Amino acid sequence: MNKSDFPIFTNNPELVYLDNAASAQKPIQVIDAMDSFMKNHYANVHRGTYYLSEMATIAYEHARHHVAEFLSVRDKDVIFVRGATEAINLVAQTFGRTLKAGDEILLSEAEHHSNLVPWQILAAEKGVIVKFISVFESGKLDMEDLKAKLSEKTKLVSVTQMSNVLGVENPIHEIVQLAHDAGAKVLIDGCQGVVHSKINLSDEKIDFYAFSGHKIYGPTGIGVLYAPSEFMNTLPPWQGGGDMVKSVHFSGPTYADSPARFEAGTPAIVQAVGLEAALDYVHSVGFNKIEAVESQTMHLLKDGLQMLGGVEVLGDLNLKKNLVCFNVKGAHPQDVAMILSEQNVAVRVGHHCAQPITEKYGVNSSIRVSLGMYNTGEDITAFITALKKAQKILRSAK
C-alpha cells in the first residue's frame, strides 16, 4: 500500500484527499484491469456463443465469485447492482412489496437517505410503519430503545454498519440476534464499514448486506447486494428485461432464479471487473494493515482537532473510527471548506445525505473529514495547518 499506487496523487502531488466516505480514489491496478478488459476482452455477457462473449461472461462471473469469497458467502447469493442505493431500493421493492399495512420497519436515526427514503416511499404506498431507534448524543445506538421497539409487528431492522456522519460502528452481531429473536429480518448498509474491517457474513447471519464499489477503491456504477438465493427466489422481481427470465411468451414470463432474477438488462460488466481488482488490491494490503494505518492516522486527527480548539464535533470524538464531522465556532462550514480547498485540502460539507441526524445535533451542515488507507500523518498535518489558517482568516474577516 502506497500513495504511488494511486495515480491521482502522482498527477496532483499537493492534493490532501479527505473525502473518502463519499468516494475513494482508485489504485492503478483497478484502472489497468478495466482498461485491459475494454481493450482486449469486451463483449456482452451470457448470451453470446463467440469467444469474446464467452470470455466476458467468465470475467463477469469470476468477479461475482471474488465478491462471494470476500464476504464468505456463496456465488448465487451475490447480486450485482449499481450501488448500495439501488441494493436497498431492490429490497424495498421486492421484500417490501410482501409487507402489509401495519407492519413495522425499524431504522436508526443516523441512516443515510438511501436507507431512509426507500422505506418512507414504501410506507406511503403500503401503509407500513417506519420507526426510528434513538441515537445517544455520543453517537452510539440506543440498544434499549431497539429492544423496546421490537415486536411481532417488526418485519425488518435496517441500519448502517457505520454512520457516515457520526463515524461510530453499530453492534451488528447484537442487532442481528435481537431482530431474529423477534422474527424480523435484518438489512445492513455496509458502505462505510466494509472498507475498513473484514466482515464474514456466514458468521453474522445477516439477511441483506449492501455496499458500493466506489467506496472500496473500485469504480462507480457497481455495487453488491448479498441476499440468500433461496429467499430471493420467493420474491417478485423488481425490473423486467433481458436475462432475468427463463422464458417469455405472449401468455407471460417465467423468471430466472436469483441472482439473474434481479439483474435485468446488460449489467455493469467493466465495472464488475474493476470491483474484482479493487477487492484484490484490498486483500493484497490486508485488513490488519489497513486498520493499523487508519487507526494511527485517526489518532493523529483526533489529537490535532483537540489541540487546535475552536471546533464543535458531532458526537463523541473518542468513539469515531474513520471520520469526523465538525464545525468551526463562529464560521460557516462552506467558508471553511473553501479556504481548505485553496490549500489543496479536500473535505466534504453539508448534511452528508443524512439530514435527520444532523438536524438532531442542531446543525444544518458540517465539515466531514474521512480517511482512507492511503492517508498519512503528513496529510493530517497539512489539514490541521490549513484549518488553523482558515480560523485565522475567518476571525480577521469579522
Q: What is the pLDDT of residues 186-220, one digit of tens each?
A: 999 999 999 999 999 988 899 999 999 999 999 99
165 & 298 share domain = no
Question: CA 16, CA 341: separation in Å to the nearest integer?
Answer: 9
318 & 179 share domain = no
Which among 370, 380, 307, 338 is positioned nearest to 163, based on CA atoms? 370
Q: Which long-range contacts (CB under 8 A, 24 or more apart) does 205-208 make?
A: 205/176, 205/180, 206/172, 206/176, 207/231, 208/87, 208/91, 208/95, 208/158
Answer with the one of 236, 257, 283 that is the final residue of a domain: 283
Answer with the one of 283, 302, 328 that is the final residue of a domain: 283
- 165 neighbors 352 (Cβ within 8 angstroms): yes
User: What are the DSSP calls for 124-147, one per residue?
Assistant: HHH--EEEEE-B-TTS-B-HHHHH
- 112 neighbors 191 (Cβ within 8 angstroms): yes
Which among 164, 138, 151 is positioned nearest to 106, based on CA atoms? 151
34 & 20 share domain = no
Range of the domain at 268: 29-283
205 & 66 share domain = yes
- The bridge status of strand 345-346 relative to strand 16-17 is parallel
CATH number, domain with residue 17: 3.90.1150.10
Catalytic residue among 117, 353, 393, 394: 353
205 & 314 share domain = no
229 & 119 share domain = yes
Answer with the one of 255, 283, 311 that is the final residue of a domain: 283
248 & 191 share domain = yes
Which among 300, 333, 290, 296 is positioned nearest to 314, based on CA atoms? 333
Question: CA 214, CA 23: separation in Å to the nearest integer?
Answer: 6
291 & 391 share domain = yes
Q: Which residues contact 128 (CB under 8 A, 6 or more apart)?
A: 96, 99, 100, 101, 102, 103, 104, 105, 119, 122, 155
Phi, psi angle pair for 182, to nearest 5°: -90, 0
The per-residue pLDDT for 398 is 63
CATH number, domain with residue 108: 3.40.640.10
Convert the pLDDT of each residue in 254-295 to its tens digit. 999 999 999 999 999 999 999 999 999 999 999 999 999 999
pTM of the model: 0.96
95 & 184 share domain = yes
Amino acid (1-letter code) at residue 367: I
Stretch 326-339: mean pLDDT, rounded? 96
Residue 394's pLDDT band (cuts 50, 70, 90): confident
389 & 277 share domain = no
- Tally of domains in the chain: 2
Instruction: Give catalytic status of residue 353 as yes or no.
Output: yes
41 & 139 share domain = yes
Containing 35, the helix (H) or strand (E) segment is helix 28-40
Q: Which residues contact 367 (CB under 8 A, 6 or more apart)?
A: 325, 326, 327, 328, 333, 336, 337, 347, 348, 349
Stretch 3-24: mean pLDDT, rounded? 97
Handedness of CA 308, 309, 311, 316 (dihedral sign): positive
Q: What is the largest CA-CA distance in the chain?
A: 74
Convert the pLDDT of each residue in 213-242 to its tens digit. 999 999 999 999 999 999 999 999 999 998
Helix (H/G/I), strand (E/B), else coil: 382:
helix
β-sheet with 348-350: strand ranges across: 311-313, 323-328, 366-370, 348-350
266 & 245 share domain = yes
Residue 243's pLDDT band (cuts 50, 70, 90): confident
Question: CA 223, CA 215: separation in Å to the nearest integer?
Answer: 10
